[in-house]
């Protein structure tokens, strides 16, 4: 027993001695953040004050549903959200140790699949529509943060990070389709006093060739008629503004910096320096 204890103490001594002198330039980390999701990173140490990491965050949110009832629309919206953001971050270790300040940029590869179905009021006719809505927060956006967790002097560290993504008002694109041609005929029939049969046929042809987005109908009709269209329906600009407003309401609770809204982030993980 005494011999075993001496061997254990010897191994512990040499192990801790090696760790105490450990200096690694490369490492990798795994973690989980909110709302950033799963985190993967590769780390390079320039010196005791500066380091760089290549990060990748990913998160998939199960299908969510929302009802929209405004500006002549009554729709059920379902969304599948998949966040995907690679990025480059630069770290400054002001004390040459575990604490560091971080700044960098993330590249948005997120996929927001938002599908809608319901009705839209067109010329007083309740038209059944299906479609999709796409949101974009910007192709790239800055990140700032502070972390405590690694100083390159041991093999493994726990890491805690607080930070913020700097995001702007999202861009929105809408597409709605009326699959029933009889409904389109019914809508155009309300303009029979101002449109000839040839013009109606031309409008239907152009609408189909443009992809069938019913939101393009007023512009197509105006182009065929050669004067502003009097089709009464929700405008694309107003619908987009309504969608942005829903997102922007959440931004109202976020602080601002240089024209950006700061979306807070926290994460916890492990960092390894095996090399």
Domains parsed from the chain with CATH numbers: 19-272 (2.40.160)
Angle at the Cα of 172 from the Cα atoms of 171 and 176, rounded to 5 degrees: 165
pTM: 0.66
CA-atom Rg of the chain in angstroms: 28
**Spatial contact of 83 and 57, defined as CB atoms under 8 Å apart:** yes
Strand partners, 126: 121
Per-residue pLDDT of the chain (275 residues; tens, 9 = 90+): 555 445 544 444 444 444 445 567 889 999 999 888 899 999 998 888 999 999 999 988 777 777 777 667 787 778 777 778 899 999 999 988 889 999 999 888 776 777 888 888 888 888 888 888 777 766 778 999 999 987 777 788 899 999 998 887 677 778 888 877 788 888 888 776 777 788 888 888 888 888 888 888 888 888 887 766 677 787 777 777 766 666 555 555 667 777 777 888 999 999 988 87
- Is-contact 152 273, C-beta < 8 A? yes
Q: At what angle do helices 197-209 and 217-225 cross, to 10 degrees?
A: 140
Tell me how far apart the alpha carbons of residues 86 and 81 are, in angstroms, rounded to a whole number. 16
Query: What's residue 44's pLDDT?
Result: 92
Q: Is the dihedral of CA 193, 197, 198, 203 positive or negative?
A: positive
């Amino acid at each position: 027993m005494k011999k075993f204890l001496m061997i254990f103490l010897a191994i512990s001594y040499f192990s801790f001695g090696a760790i105490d002198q450990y200096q690694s330039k490369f490492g990798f980390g795994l973690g989980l953040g909110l709302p950033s999701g799963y985190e993967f990173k590769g780390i390079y140490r320039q010196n005791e004050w500066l380091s760089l990491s290549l990060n990748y965050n990913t998160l998939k949110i199960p299908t969510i549903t929302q009802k929209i009832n405004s500006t002549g629309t009554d729709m059920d919206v379902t969304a599948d959200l998949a966040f995907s953001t690679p990025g480059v971050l630069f770290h400054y270790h002001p004390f040459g140790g575990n604490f560091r300040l971080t700044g960098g940029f993330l590249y948005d590869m997120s996929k927001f699949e938002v599908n809608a179905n319901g009705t839209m009021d067109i010329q007083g006719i309740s038209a059944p529509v299906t479609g999709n809505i796409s949101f974009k927060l910007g192709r790239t956006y800055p990140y700032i943060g502070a972390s405590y967790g690694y100083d390159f002097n041991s093999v493994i560290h726990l890491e805690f990070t607080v930070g913020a993504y700097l995001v702007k008002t999202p861009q929105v694109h809408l597409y709605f389709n009326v699959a029933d041609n009889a409904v389109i005929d019914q809508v155009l029939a309300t303009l029979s006093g101002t449109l000839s049969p040839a013009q109606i046929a031309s409008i239907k042809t152009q609408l189909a060739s443009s992809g069938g987005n019913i939101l393009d109908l007023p512009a197509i009709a105006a182009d065929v008629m050669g004067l502003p269209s009097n089709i009464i329906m929700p405008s694309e600009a107003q619908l987009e503004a309504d969608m942005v407003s829903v997102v922007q309401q959440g931004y109202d609770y976020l602080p601002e910096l240089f024209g950006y809204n700061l979306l807070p982030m926290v994460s916890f993980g492990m960092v390894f320096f095996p090399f």
